[in-house]
Amino acid sequence: MFTVKELSELKAPELKKVAQKLNINPVGLSRADIIIAIVKAQESSPILAQQIKQEMMQQSNPNKTVRTKRKRISKNAEPVSNKDISDHPQQTEQTSSLFANTENKSDFQEQSETTTTIPDNDEVSAEMEVFDDDNSATSVNEPPEIAQENKTNDNEFESETDASDKNTIDELPAPKKELEFTFNFDGLIQAEGVLEVLQEGYGFLRSADYNYLSSPDDIYISPQQIKSYGLKTGDVVRGSIRPPKEGEKYFPIIQIEKVNGRDLEYIRDRVTFDYLTPLFPHEKLKLAGGKYETISTRIVDLFAPIGKGQRGLIVAQPKTGKTMLLKDIANAISYNHPEVYLIILLIDERPEEVTDMQRSVKAEVIASTFDEPAERHVRVSNIVLEKAKRLVECGHDVVILLDSITRMARAYNTVMPASGKVLTGGVEATALQKPKRFFGAARKIENGGSLTIIATALIDTGSKMDEVIFEEFKGTGNMELQLDRKLANKRIFPAIDLLASSTRREDLLLDKNTLNKMWILRKHLSDMKPDEAMEFLITQISRTKTNEEFLVSMGS
């Protein structure tokens, strides 16, 4: 039977041949799996395994012949007379001196006195020519009895020495020979990430688990791949990777399969985001109805409808429930519009709010908490915007819920180098250019996708900088939702100022009948105070199950 060591020393063709003889299919198995399968198979059929082993030994050494020991040739010496002994005094002296140190010296002397056998010269020469394979020939001058006894002692000593050496070898631990696997792991693992192209020309695929920042899971993309496929920062790349070789730090991608969910031919011919034609939003995002319907989403769906490509601004004072309202909107969009790619971007937010948002909303949550530096806020915001643009270029609908744009503008103002031109509140003259670029990217694309951004803006925080930032963004949105601190203090939620909240060109999102009834409802609520109007609307809406039922009840 084969041992694991013998199997590991066999070459791959020989190992597969042994496996096939043992009725094992080696196709698709690694070297280690084949060895394990052979060991298990020979336990069930040891006779077959032994036959295979003998066949392989014969094939490996076909010309090798087994040497057998030659038979010992022994000649009986004839006794000689005392006269012959006296004729050879020199041989007698040599014989006695040769056996002077043996234990049987006295016996030998007595025996030599009575019967001493000395072979002739011809017999000595014949005796010298006869040797065994172990080089154990009988000494020329030894008598046969002494020679046989000495040989027995030598054999005993050699057997004891061999046994002791064998025990010593058995006691030593056998060196573990590691199995060398030459399996190719290229292309076995699929990976996906968001591309960030560096100034050197190469790029890395960033993971959303690390908020698109540098991490050990980054995947390297060479400059040749970026140029050949026309990749940009923000592209969602999917492909096959291989393990890093010696001297490499990252997993390189070896074959790109999909980019932004599209084939590579489509990516090469795509139009850049800046050259796409923007339109007014005309496809409504339904917030009412479904599993996550709340009174807040139903009110927003009536008074400030959101369409695909909307640029909305939620203006709120501190502690007015803007984060909870943003969460309700996110849950409604994710449930009613599964085709929309939803991203929640939290900048300068509390860590517990980030955890709550990740656990309560089925969306991609990218966050940079308030204890992080401003450079991290800016970097996360840039890569999220670039990802959204690349998806829109490929015809996808993307929604970004930003909390908050005021804190993002603060971060950009911090990292912006001093230009010498400072506005009121310590805002750099060029610091708000990139936040405006972020917010202004929301648009509905003609014959394409859409990018919807709903951002929150802080007011009445006591900071002059926040007021300046809000004034800059005040007229840029096409949907505005005002939250009232007085309603929140009275624990009236949602604390929405109904008269100050509206959507531009809402006639493109609402049908004519719904639009007429909303004008009548606004006129009726304009005669009330904000808290009275909100309490009246909450009471009426809670009595009905849908907004359609509520509008029908208005006519009666």
Both tokens of 313, joined, read 């601004």
Task: Identify the pLDDT of residue 339.
Answer: 95
Rg (Cα) of the chain, in Å, rounded?
Answer: 47
Range of the domain at 15: 4-51
pLDDT band at 57 (very low <50, low <70, confident <90, very high): confident
**CA-wise closest residue to 510 among 476, 479, 537:** 479
Beta strands 364-369 and 251-259 are unpaired
CB 451 within 8 A of CB 389: yes
Say if residue 429 is in the same domain as residue 469: yes
Say if residue 353 is in the same domain as residue 500: yes
Q: What does the pLDDT average to over 305-334?
A: 94
Q: What is the mean pLDDT of the chain?
A: 82
CATH number of the domain bearing residue 506: 3.40.50.300
Q: What does the pLDDT average to over 62-85?
A: 53
Say if residue 392 is in the same domain as residue 529: yes
Say if residue 256 is in the same domain as residue 293: no
Task: Identify the pLDDT of residue 89.
Answer: 45
Q: What does the pLDDT average to over 209-235?
A: 93
Highest mean pLDDT: which range of 110-119, 237-246, 301-310, 471-480: 301-310
- Say if 156 falls within a structural domain: no
Q: How far apart are the first and last CA of the chain?
A: 95
CB 386 within 8 A of CB 234: yes
More confidently predicted of 124 and 317: 317
Q: Give kind and range of the element (H or E) at residue 365.
A: strand 364-369
Q: Give kind and range of the element (H or E) at residue 75.
A: none
Query: CA 164, 169, 170: angle at the middle one, nearest 5?
Result: 95
**Region for 447 from its dihedrals, namely left if φ exceeds 0, alpha if ψ lies in -120 to 50, beta otherwise:** left
Three-state SS across 382-409? HHHHHHHHHHHHCCCEEEEEEECHHHHH
Say if residue 450 is in the same domain as residue 402: yes
Say if residue 256 is in the same domain as residue 368: no
More confidently predicted of 221 and 29: 221
d(CA 479, CA 500): 11
Count the domains in the chain: 3
Query: CA 44, 48, 51: angle at the middle one, nearest 5?
Result: 145
Is the pLDDT assigned to residue 95 strictly greater than 70? no
Say if residue 373 is in the same domain as residue 497: yes
Beta strands 236-241 and 219-221 are unpaired
Report the share of the chain in percent with pLDDT over 70: 77
- From residue 141, give the alpha-carbon distance in Å to each of 90, 118, 138, 288: 12, 7, 9, 120
- Say if 121 falls within a structural domain: no
d(CA 551, CA 303): 13
Tens digit of each residue's pLDDT (9 = 90 or more) over 40-51: 888 778 878 888
d(CA 224, CA 230): 10
- Say if 263 falls within a structural domain: yes
Say if residue 295 is in the same domain as residue 421: yes
Is the pLDDT assigned to residue 521 strictly greater than 90? yes
